[in-house]
Amino acid sequence: MTSSLLLGIDTGGTYTDAVVFDEMRGVIGKAKSLTTRHDLSIGIGLSVEGALEAAGVLPGSIGLVSLSTTLATNALVEGQGGRAGLVMIGFEPADLLRAGLKDALGSDPVIMLAGGHDVHGQERMLDMQALKDQLPDLATQVSAFAIAGYFATRNPAHEMRVRDFIREQTGLPVTCSHELSSRLGGPRRALTTLLNARLVAVLSRLITACESFLQCRGILAPLMVVRGDGALIVASQARLRPIETILSGPAASLVGARYLTGLDQAVVSDIGGTTSDVAILEDGRPRLAPDGAVVGGYRTMVEAVALHTFGLGGDSQVHIDDRGLNARITLGPRRLLPLSLVGSLYPDAVLPVLERQLAAGHPGRYDGRFAMATGIAASHGLTAAEQKLLERIGTQPVPINDLLLQNSHGAQLNRLVSLGLAQVAGLTPSDAMHALGRQSQWHAGAALLGLKLACRLRDGAGNPIAPSPESLAEMISARLTRQSAEAIISACLPNTQDEAIDPATSPAIDRALSRAPGVVRLSLSLDRPLVGLGASASVHYPAIADMLSAASVIPADADVANAIGAVVGNVRSSVMVTVASMAQGGFLVSGLGAPLVFDDEQHALDEARRLGCEAVEQLAVTNGAGEVAISLREEIDEPEVEGTRRLVEARITATASGRPRIVHA
């Protein structure tokens, strides 16, 4: 029996990882490279070439490529993504205040149209005049559109009409809410659709970069992408529904953690450059979020692992609050380029500046901070001042002290960063680790200079915030340990129904974590091992596990667990069909396009089952599965009133799962 060779790729905010995986032997080659945001194919190419070389195999022997990524997650956490236009059909302006929709919209435009359907799928008059009037102008301001119709899960006809019109008139990507979820709850479905529209360009860039490299290297295998629930989906479908890839990287890491450790019960925490992701393995499977994934503060309708994503990683911004009697350090949520990294990549542009700032008599407001363009082409929507500032930044690090000459420049720079057009470099935990000798991949000298600059700050009592750069580095490391422990507790507490406790402010948890002495000694522990994943897992997680009184498990391939999880998963697709009794008699079958009406209850249920199985098999094949197994799950509301049973609603979920199609060499 011959096994197939699979290629797993994970593109994160800092690193791109690749593994060559043999179905019989496991990992036979792995490599890492920096993620190159201006051209993602460069980082992908370097990591894949390294993995192929380490495995000693030829590109043509690869039978499947699978990709996981944190780019969509990071974009939502950091408030990035393209500008999207939202079209609401049949909703009222007050609906924007529900589900956090107004906050998520920000300054993005919204159009309210009359129309939509009722609970039985019967249409109200659709009036598209407002859209026709505003569309020519909006098409120049946004990169994609999102459409949400009232009860579109019962009847998507109006969403489809508006979608087709916008596509015909603008050629821009359009997402309909019924394509993403069959669940009720219009405002949250609209929120999910809006976020999807913003992410289309983000994920499309990644998939295009990956496909381009694979084609050039003669790797003709199918390309899959990991969804947020750990299942795989073919790349062409992921382009249309990028929101499904939020938590893709973390979901892959859970699948990889299970494979690497064999543990059935564990808390898994994956630290990256931008985020830390915490989830729970229970009975060997990732626990799923019952109400949809929460990312960047928004609860979506995307089925995904019950994962808590925190803006805390090795590259988190170090904030030093020197206004109190004692300086206070906090980390994140924004990611910075570590000084050790930019010092390694651009030594001539960074090191002399840091030395000059350190030699100056008076500290500058932005000492140790640099800005540089990502190299991504600017889309429409920039003001003239923002465009001018972007041109001044360039593609090599520029000291922010020299860049922000007016008060307005700070807001302009933040806008460029939020659009993914610029990055800021500064002091991070990665720099602290380099200064302490616990990491060594980048320039330790640049990190030390950044710490020395920060040590010049004084607290409210007039004392230096730290006696030495090394002691400041230890303070930053200790802060990452503490914030990580609080994040893990926060992720686990809801599962014990103690959601009212905030680990960051609870005096009891503070006493337990700090092991404060006293007549009553409080303690806190996890009831299962803590699995640490990520390139810096071995640096951070032993101390974090110790603080949580938990066993620390860091598998041998913890640095590429995401890429491993990308290739050992399955394609899994689900379709929900609803059967509801109608007030005027009969039974409505909906969830698969235009609703159907049946006179007989049993006929309606049987047809719903048949249609669900037929639709989910086709969906699984479309999503990249080979042979599939189909299962049905039914939830039936049928109360008994005066001895007579009456069907109110039946929800029939058909699920198809199977391994992706693999090309055998």
Q: Is residue 180 part of a domain?
A: yes
Per-residue model confidence (pLDDT) at position 500: 64
* 215/189 same-domain check: yes
* Ordered mean pLDDT values, 10 residues apiece, the chain (665 residues): 79 87 91 86 93 94 91 74 90 90 88 90 90 94 92 90 95 89 86 88 86 91 91 90 84 90 94 88 84 77 82 92 80 93 96 96 90 79 87 91 87 88 95 96 96 90 89 96 94 64 87 87 93 92 96 93 91 91 87 87 94 94 92 90 83 93 72
Per-residue model confidence (pLDDT) at position 61: 92
* 557/634 same-domain check: no
Per-residue model confidence (pLDDT) at position 244: 86
- Alpha carbons 436 and 356: distance in angstroms, whole number: 23
- Alpha carbons 572 and 303: distance in angstroms, whole number: 12
Query: Which segments of 217-331 does DSSP mark as H helices, in order?
Result: 235-240, 248-261
Q: Is residue 606 part of a domain?
A: yes
CB 183 within 8 A of CB 153: yes
Per-residue model confidence (pLDDT) at position 496: 47
Residue written as token pair 């992720």: 491
* 522/653 same-domain check: no
Note the pLDDT tens digit of each residue in 103-130: 888 888 999 999 998 887 788 999 999 9
Domain boundary residue, one of 520, 537, 569: 569
Q: In terms of C-beta distances under 8 Å and separation of at least 24 residues, what long-range contacts does 433-439 make, across chains too? A: 433/314, 433/473, 433/477, 433/536, 433/539, 434/338, 434/340, 435/469, 435/470, 435/473, 436/470, 436/473, 436/474, 436/477, 438/539, 439/536, 439/539
Residue written as token pair 């993995």: 51
CA-nearest of 314, 278, 269 to 476 is: 314
* 608/496 same-domain check: no
* 526/405 same-domain check: no
* 435/323 same-domain check: yes
Per-residue model confidence (pLDDT) at position 379: 60
* 451/534 same-domain check: no
DSSP 591-632: SSSS-EEESSHHHHHHHHHHHHHHHHHHHHHHTTBSS-EEEE
CB 230 within 8 A of CB 258: no
Q: Is residue 148 part of a domain?
A: yes
For 609-648, b/e burial (b = at least 16 CB within 10 A) is bebbbebbbebbbebbbeebebeeeeeeeeeeeeeeeebe
- Alpha carbons 337 and 270: distance in angstroms, whole number: 19
* 26/158 same-domain check: yes
Q: Is residue 302 part of a domain?
A: no
Domain boundary residue, one of 451, 476, 501: 476
- Alpha carbons 442 and 445: distance in angstroms, whole number: 9
* 458/421 same-domain check: yes
Q: Is residue 269 part of a domain?
A: no
DSSP state of 125: P
Domain boundary residue, one of 459, 476, 493: 476
* 12/98 same-domain check: yes
Query: Which segments of 68-128 does DSSP mark as H helices, in order?
Result: 71-77, 101-105
Domain that holds residue 511: 485-552
Q: Is residue 279 part of a domain?
A: no
Note the pLDDT tens digit of each residue in 133-188: 999 999 999 989 999 999 998 889 999 999 999 999 999 989 899 888 878 888 99
* 375/498 same-domain check: no
Neighbours of 366 (CB within 10 A): 18
Q: Is residue 421 part of a domain?
A: yes
- Alpha carbons 389 and 373: distance in angstroms, whole number: 10
Q: Is residue 287 part of a domain?
A: no
Q: What is the pTM of this model?
A: 0.74
CB 548 within 8 A of CB 485: yes
* 330/450 same-domain check: yes
DSSP state of 383: -
Domains in the chain, number: 4
- Inter-helix orientation angle 561-568/248-261, to 10°: 90
